Structure 1
């Protein structure tokens, strides 16, 4: 490093301040009978957050050895506090919590989905919750989609499902179309839909 470099000429050094710096005012140690300065802060305890004792070094060490934030609390209260600390002591709710009548609180009675701002209606979308059909069978979303792929109603019988499956396979199979593979994707979706309905016990 060259001390005569022109870069050093550009460095500005703040002139030394010869004025005596005022020492931070300290209170005396608040330990009973101690006359030393209170150079260290120690928390006052639970329900007194933000409040501190001023102790000297020796007494802050003695205070820290005996300090217990949970003193006077039962084991159940300590456990509850530690559990709430995981979420920053903010209120939480269980996932899928239901309100009165077996529906989520604030849910629309028709579709079982909460939409306070009406976005689904605005977008033209309709959502249907799992619910029993007139024949007593519960039709879930996956089965609804499978039936839609096959062009069947929710009340379709196992015989109708099998007949429709055979019909669609014959229609979209490349062998039935002279080797044309353009409808292979449609054939795959029909086979997947039929397999999902079969696993769900619809046929």
Structure 2
């Protein structure tokens, strides 16, 4: 380990500032004040930030040894501060599930240029014209089959038949390289035909 120069015996200490103050702020100490410390609590001004004082190494060590974060706290307050999940028990805003925050309550805003609403319409997934709900899984299955959100039961059946013919080994001279894709198509169809939008 590298040793500090002989003319700077305290150079290795973190927070040391050379020539910060002529003398340590501790009464009667003639050593240079090279370490910053807050003033005693009784000397703090009301709403202003504290004025720092400068102490020598020995007196800043003494100050640090006497510091107690839990001073003035009750046993319950100390226990609450030491819990590993302290601060996480406060209620926070829920995360959105659709990729965008919930839109604001429109009664609270005047939006003549539609600057706020346009963002949410772009981020929101396309809804079906008939109003029937589509889950995230339903939307992924429609993507697998290459169908739009407004597809009906007839379009679903036609697309399924078309894709099965395209990927089935019997229609491809025994080529089994598309079996994984075929299984995805079958699974997507089986889920979609039972979904409320296609029932």
TM-score, reference length from structure 1: 0.46
Structure number with greater CO (CA < 8 Å, separation at least 6) is 2
TM-score, reference length from structure 2: 0.47
